[in-house]
Amino acid sequence: MDLTKKQTNLRIDEILHAKLKIIAAKERRSANNMMEYFIAKSIEKYETENGEIILTEDDVEE
């Protein structure tokens, strides 16, 4: 599978966005990188609790 990054639009509450920017700055990351990190950690936690999500080529948009 090709692991290129997908561009997406995300609507987020302004309070969450402001807090995200503060956390990202403290962690010396961009807000985008911080969101990707949070999503990855959330998926990791989900898979730990519910089992690995197995993807096929059809699951990944091109």
pLDDT at 60 over 80: yes
CA distances 57 to 2, 13, 54, Å, are: 9, 33, 10
pLDDT tens across 4-57, in order? 888 889 999 999 999 999 999 999 999 999 999 999 999 999 999 999 999 998
What pLDDT is attached to residue 5? 85
What pLDDT is attached to residue 62? 62
CB–CB of 55/1 below 8 Å? yes
Q: Band of the pLDDT at 1, cuts 50, 70, 90?
A: very low
**DSSP assignment letter at 4:** P
CA distances 60 to 5, 23, 35, 43, 57, Å, are: 11, 30, 20, 16, 6
Regarding pTM above 0.85, the answer is no
